[in-house]
Amino acid sequence: MQRPLPQGIEYLIEQFDAFAGSRNSGRRIPVVLLRREGTASGASGASGASGASGASGEATAAAATGDATGTTDTADTTGTTGAGPRSVIVGYRDRLCEQDLDRTTDLVPHALIEDGDFAPRAPEPDEDPADVTEPHVALLDSIVDQLENSMPLDAGELRLPRFHTCRAVVDISVGAGSAAGKRRRLRDELYHQLLVRRPLLGTLARLAGATGGSFLVNIWLSLFQLLVVGLPRRIYGLWLSRRRSLRWVGSRRPKGPNFLRMALAFTRSGTSRDNHALVQRMLLMALLNDLRRAARPSRLWVYRARRQWPFVLLLPAVGEEGTPVRQLLDTYADILRTEPPAPLMVLGALASDPPSYAKAVVADPRSVTGVADKVHALYARSSASAVYLVPLSASDDDGPADRWLDTNPKVSVRANGRGDYVRAVGAPVLVLALLAGVTLFIRDEPGRPPSCHAVESGEIVGVTDGRECHLGVAGRDDELLALEKLAAKQNEAAVNSARPYRSVVFFAPLTAEPGDSTPVSIQSLRGALAAQAQVNGREGDIVQIRLLIANSGKYFAYGSKGSPGDPDVARQIIDRKDRDKIAAVIGITQSRPASFAAVEALSAANIPVIGNSVTGSRMVDAKSSSSYFQVSPTNERIAEIMAEFSTHSEQIGALTTKADGGRTAVVVYDPDDEFFSADLGAKFTEKYKGGQTVTVPYYENRNGQIASDVARNICAEIRATDGFIVYAGRSGEMPELFDALQGSADCRKEDGRQVAVLSESTAAKYLQDPADMLKKHAVLKPYYLMLNDSNGKETPGSPYSEFTSHFRGVFTDGEVPEGNAAGAYDALRVTSEVINSVYANYKTVENTDARFQPTDVYARLSNPGIQDFSGASGLLSLDSRHKYPPNKAVYILEPHVDKSVTTLMACGLLPDRPPGRNNPGTWGTAGKTHRCP
């Protein structure tokens, strides 16, 4: 590396080395782009970094080095002439190798690419223009070539079958003819390429192509050719057409499952061949899929223990938009948003304005290890963003970095040894021995069946009836274990009732990592169990409900297909559909890409889903599944209610001062949470007419963001505007922020008034014990939105009061059931109503246990559906035209220290009012009423 080095660079390289030597499996690896503070190019990029760092406008004063082509490091405006980001990245390649006399040994597979190596070129005079490799393809060819040639000693050969298959497609010409004929020619060409990559198959094919001297010899050779060429080629074609691992090629195109059909579009004369962005995305996704498998080979292979490192990609100069390296980075960042994590560690140096999607890492400038600590946090935890801008100090090193690099010249990797073979062979032998022992000596003990799976986070995910296995960990998930026990008891009664039964699955994130707050889905599960008791206790020919519990894990991480080998809970539900007589799925409770994918998987299996506590607009938009319904409103209506209350509420007015003609709303939201938080924040900002709005980002995946820093930003806005807080974040992240707000001096107003906070998603523990919340956060005055009037008061004839009575009959702890419980209670009762309607159509005198499918339940729910169902959370109507209830009842509540709750606003089709009559048109106090949205 060029000297002098940036100050503190050794701490940053130490973090790179630690991760390059031993990756964290299962987590997304963020891209790290370096830039040096105080450089001229950095100044030009500061505005982009500021925009990327969030609405608060806080950004690191940082800079990149190098010109647009990334060929040289540039001196900064402060006079620094030492190593810039480019020098650091280029020099880091040497750390991935070990020099021994004249021999170089690779320690970590890596590749380094620069724009100058991939400039477009004209064909030679005797060269076919079609044979010239385009830059976007040549760039990936170079990466693959370098990765294959830099595999460490004794770590095996890097096999990239998907990439080489897709890469071959790009160069193949299938000519004219029918679609079937083109697919056959494509298959034959791809099989020919396979023979080149698989020497044994190629040798057999050459033997089969030999000719003999007699008629009988030629007959035998023809039969041999059929067996070793014709049959394998036919099987290979079927594998290409139906293999699930290649279906993603059509993920953004119609008719995606058939690879050969989709691949025709990428051949030389294909319709998508000139779509360079799509071609590059296809090849890059193929490479990333191969790298995932290469990093985790079979446990029976010695290479599994020896491949603890990630694959490293070095980008010495990330230039302006449109340059080859920048285009590759854009594509990679887009893939990272939606695809499973790949074991690819990308380090780059910024040579132009930063990409808009990159987030600036902000560290304490007074700490020489501040940046390194933030990078450590990025690698140690799941990343919220794909790309981060990491600043290098503008000050030159005064000696420590040089000495550290001299004494630590290379990455420290795991040493290979003979023990690797012992582990590879010993693990299956030990497993077989244990299985044999269990079979011989514990025949009567069923153990944990495959429906429950312990995962890396320590959670247990899967499906249970409450008895067959447990999803909770004793001492950590005791409340969930108690609910499982109750479910087992109620399920046994349902199955043994001598009445017909159907299973309904409550599917939601029911566990969290140690130290996290209790998931609100636990309250929803309590509501579902209360509904099960109410439904099964009814007299008459009522179909009993057997409630299965499905845990998707935190963030719905295991809700559907993810990384190879990970549990797929949606798939488990589908596989149990017939055996367990599953009629529908309820719950979901969260708006996320992962929950959306799980719903899609269930819907593809014709299982209807009825969600509760789900509000994200994209869950019910035009692209959502037709089999999905929900008893909750969308963020559109919730934002209307919150904006109306914020504008006219006397309570918020007493705690704020009008500025520029209105009350300033400080909207706290997560820009990365597109399905929920960002959606709600944007809709509130659009609908709020009571004053100005200021946004402050607060990320669910912190990745170095500190809650106290966010609290200072919020309180600074409150102090400047005397406004109020609108919390649009997730409930699980609320306690840490509330603690930080309480500890911030800026939130203590001189006049002693509290800071008003209006939230949509409120932490479960605050709903259960509002007195504790108020005592611990005296500086705040919270108001929260609910989907039922959970004030604990019982009124004769009120559906909410009936719900409260049933709930307290099952749970005798005296707890007031809140909106999440009411939503799940309604979801199960709606499902039961539809099931009984279907059952009434199917049952006969001879067959009282009528067989019907989930598709029948979906058809009935679609038409005629449920009309004016009097639920605990309001009057509900669901059908094919209404995926969520129109004019859903919504409430704004104020908690008090004595645990009582005051209803400040109630709008919509309330549960204790007849349909279409006497529903409140206004809200507010006497003489100061306002029209309900």
SS3 906: strand
pLDDT at 80 over 70: no
Minimum mean pLDDT range among 129-138, 454-463, 638-647: 129-138
The per-residue pLDDT for 891 is 94
Q: Give the separation between CA 495 and CA 485, rounded to whole angstroms.
A: 16
Q: How far is the CA of 773 from the CAs of 119, 568, 577, 763, 899, in angstroms?
A: 61, 37, 42, 10, 10
The per-residue pLDDT for 4 is 86
When pLDDT is averaged across residues 44-53 and rounded to a whole number, the result is 38
pLDDT at 45 over 70: no
When pLDDT is averaged across residues 239-254 and rounded to a whole number, the result is 53
Identify which has the larger pLDDT, 837 or 216.
Answer: 837
Q: Which helix (H) or strand (E) segment is 87 a member of?
A: helix 85-95
At 536, the pLDDT band (50, 70, 90 cuts) reads: very high
| Strand-pair category, 110-112 with 103-106 | unpaired
When pLDDT is averaged across residues 40-64 and rounded to a whole number, the result is 37
Pick from 585, 583, 676, 577: nearest CA to 629: 585
Identify which has the larger pLDDT, 622 or 253.
Answer: 622
Side chain identity, residue 783: Y
Q: For 336-394, what is each residue's pLDDT tens digit?
A: 877 778 889 999 999 999 999 999 988 877 778 888 888 888 887 766 667 999 999 88
pLDDT at 57 over 60: no
When pLDDT is averaged across residues 571-591 and rounded to a whole number, the result is 96
Q: For 740-750, what is each residue's pLDDT tens digit?
A: 999 998 899 88
pLDDT at 872 over 70: yes
The per-residue pLDDT for 28 is 76
Side chain identity, residue 812: T
Q: Which helix (H) or strand (E) segment is 326 a member of?
A: helix 324-338
Minimum mean pLDDT range among 113-127, 333-347, 577-591: 113-127
At 523, the pLDDT band (50, 70, 90 cuts) reads: very high
Identify which has the larger pLDDT, 661 or 144.
Answer: 144
pLDDT at 204 over 90: no
* Encoded tokens for 458: 């320590």
- Please report where in the chains the tokens 């299982």 appear, as a residue: 607
pLDDT at 73 over 60: no
Show the domains of the chain with their CATH numbers: 1-38+83-121+130-156+298-416 (no CATH), 452-633+795-872 (3.40.50.2300), 635-786 (3.40.50.2300)
Side chain identity, residue 431: V
Pick from 39, 8, 34: nearest CA to 89: 34
Q: For 282-299, what is each residue's pLDDT tens digit?
A: 899 889 988 988 887 655
Q: Give the separation between CA 483 and CA 523, rounded to whole angstroms.
A: 10
pLDDT at 227 over 80: no
The per-residue pLDDT for 55 is 35
* Encoded tokens for 591: 């708006």
* Encoded tokens for 503: 């299973």
When pLDDT is averaged across residues 851-861 and rounded to a whole number, the result is 91
Minimum mean pLDDT range among 265-269, 426-430, 458-462: 426-430
The per-residue pLDDT for 327 is 93
Q: Give the separation between CA 908 and CA 925, rounded to whole angstroms.
A: 17
Question: What are the E-state strand segments in 277-329?
Answer: 311-318
The length of the chain in residues reads: 933
At 583, the pLDDT band (50, 70, 90 cuts) reads: very high
pLDDT at 223 over 70: no
Q: Give the separation between CA 426 and CA 423, rounded to whole angstroms.
A: 5
Minimum mean pLDDT range among 525-534, 806-815, 816-825, 842-851: 842-851
908 neighbors 891 (Cβ within 8 angstroms): no
DSSP string, 736-799: HHHHHHHH-GGGS-TT-PPEEEEESS--HHHHH-HHHHHHHTTTEEEEEEESS--S----TT-H
By percentage, how much of the chain surpasses pLDDT 70? 79
Beta bridge partners of 586: 506, 610
Q: For 500-512, what is each residue's pLDDT tens digit?
A: 999 999 999 999 8
Q: What angle do CA 157, 160, 164 make, to 5 degrees?
A: 130
Q: Which helix (H) or strand (E) segment is 137 a member of?
A: helix 135-149
Identify which has the larger pLDDT, 766 or 204.
Answer: 766
Q: Give the separation between CA 809 and CA 240, rounded to whole angstroms.
A: 57
596 neighbors 561 (Cβ within 8 angstroms): no
Pick from 38, 282, 3: nearest CA to 164: 282
Burial of residue 926 (CB within 10 Å: 0-12, 13-18, 19+) is exposed
